[in-house]
């Protein structure tokens, strides 16, 4: 039984007031709030186990190293990777994609080769490839979407995969539209043509079970702060065969085997990609967040958020002039909309005065906004602690805003 009161009690910030009104936090696609267990775990490590990892023979360093590598195993199990060597800690999804973009394009691509993305990508899955296009002369192509926010080419993706396509990089879930892309089928079609696939899992990992072996993706990236963990920590999963082939992304301490003036050899996986002191406190926080999510139950979380999203879309339809973007189903825990000719920024500002936190703007997806013919949207996004009462507050707040225009 999903005990929403127990869950909400784990997040003290949800009980605070904003402008003398109860906080209604609906900006979870940007970042989630953190449960007490995550904050306590990180504070405990700073107080009692703070030492650099992998370097010291002393007791504290060994303890910190054990916690750090235990976190890697927690992540491995969470996404069902084959080995811990396939789990690279990064600062987040953005750095994970930049790592692949830099190392893959450097070693696997030449001028004129193509990377394929989609019209619904976050800037983090566009700009790193564009930088490589400027530096190395590769070409960035994009798959089109339908007016209701689905990939237009799922049945005919082969027409977009050519002999020049060296990598497909795709969002599992759109951070604007809530579209859940059929990535398993897309990966299969790409692999039939020998093309590896990177999946941006920033918006899927917090909401559904992820099995990278079942998906058969070559790379999978996600962030801790969107799944109840700390900021500044993320994960790149890569198949061992690919990580072995790619050169290091950064150089420095930790990622080396031997350094001389004439030559440097690199550490084994995954340390080859983890230059410098890792954020070992944050990795422990991430592992604690994952264990918290598992304790609530991913099936329960997914069912709760699916029902909440359905209810929100249903209730928003009662507001005159509303336009909801994205498919009706399958639809993840994100609802983006506009109302009549009211600017999205005005809606967000006025909702804020009612204690309701939503996101407004282009959501780091300006090419998608151009495709939809708009400058931005209002976005409500849900987490395991949100309630139907909060959806009702959003709808009531929107009615008040509409009445002002």
Query: Is 364 marked active-site?
Result: yes
Exposure of 281 by Cβ count < 10 A (0-12 exposed, 13-18 middle, 19+ buried)? Answer: buried
Q: Which residues contact 33 (CB under 8 A, 6 or more apart)?
A: 11, 13, 14, 25, 228, 383, 385
Burial 100-137 (b: 16+ CB within 10 A, else e): bbbbbbeeebeeebbbbbbbbbbbbbbbbbeebbeeee
| Residues 307, 300: Cα–Cα separation, whole Å | 11
> Do 264 and 258 meet the contact criterion of CB atoms below 8 Å apart?
yes
Choose the catalytic residue: 37, 153, 217, 364: 364
Q: Is 362 helix (H, G, I), strand (E, B) or coil?
A: coil
The shares of helix, strand and coil residues in the chain, as percent rounded to the nearest 5, are 45, 20, 40
> Do 144 and 119 meet the contact criterion of CB atoms below 8 Å apart?
yes
**Length of the chain, please?**
405
Burial 303-339 (b: 16+ CB within 10 A, else e): ebbbebbebbbebbeebeebebbbbeeebbbbbbbbb
Q: Which residues are catalytic?
A: 364
């Amino acid at each position: 039984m999903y005990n929403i009161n127990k869950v909400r009690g784990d997040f003290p910030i949800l009980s605070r007031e904003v402008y003398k009104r109860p906080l209604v936090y609906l900006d979870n696609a940007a970042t989630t709030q953190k449960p007490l267990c995550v904050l306590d775990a990180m504070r405990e490590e700073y107080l009692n186990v703070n030492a650099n990892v992998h370097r010291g023979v002393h007791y504290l360093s060994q303890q910190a190293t054990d916690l750090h590598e235990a976190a890697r195993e927690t992540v491995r199990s969470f996404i069902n990777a084959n080995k811990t060597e396939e789990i690279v800690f990064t600062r987040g999804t953005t750095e994970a994609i930049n790592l692949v973009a830099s190392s893959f394009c450097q070693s696997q691509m030449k001028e004129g080769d193509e990377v394929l993305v989609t019209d619904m990508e976050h800037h983090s899955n566009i700009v790193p490839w564009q930088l490589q296009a400027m530096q190395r002369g590769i070409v960035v192509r994009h798959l089109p979407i339908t007016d209701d926010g689905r990939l237009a080419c799922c049945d005919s993706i082969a027409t977009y995969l050519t002999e020049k396509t060296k990598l497909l990089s795709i969002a599992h879930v759109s951070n604007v539209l809530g579209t859940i892309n059929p990535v398993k089928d897309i990966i299969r079609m790409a692999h039939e043509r020998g093309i590896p696939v990177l999946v941006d899992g920033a918006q899927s990992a917090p909401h559904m079970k992820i099995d990278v072996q079942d998906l058969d993706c070559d790379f999978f990236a996600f962030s801790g702060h969107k799944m109840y963990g700390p900021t500044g920590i993320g994960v790149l999963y890569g198949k061992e065969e690919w990580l072995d082939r790619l050169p290091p992304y950064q150089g420095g301490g930790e990622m080396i085997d031997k350094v001389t003036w004439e030559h440097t050899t690199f550490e084994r996986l995954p340390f080859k990609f983890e230059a410098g002191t890792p954020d070992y406190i944050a990795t422990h926080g991430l592992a604690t967040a994952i264990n918290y999510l598992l304790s609530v139950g991913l099936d329960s979380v997914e069912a709760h958020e699916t029902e909440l999203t359905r209810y929100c879309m249903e209730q928003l339809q009662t507001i005159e002039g509303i336009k909801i973007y994205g498919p009706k189903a399958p639809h993840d825990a994100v609802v983006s909309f506009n109302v009549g000719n009211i600017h999205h920024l005005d809606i967000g500002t006025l909702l804020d005065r009612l204690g309701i936190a939503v996101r407004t703007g282009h959501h780091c997806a300006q090419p998608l906004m151009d495709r939809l013919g708009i400058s931005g949207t209002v976005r409500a996004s849900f987490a395991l602690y949100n309630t139907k009462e909060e959806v009702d507050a959003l709808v009531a707040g929107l009615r008040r805003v509409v009445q002002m225009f």
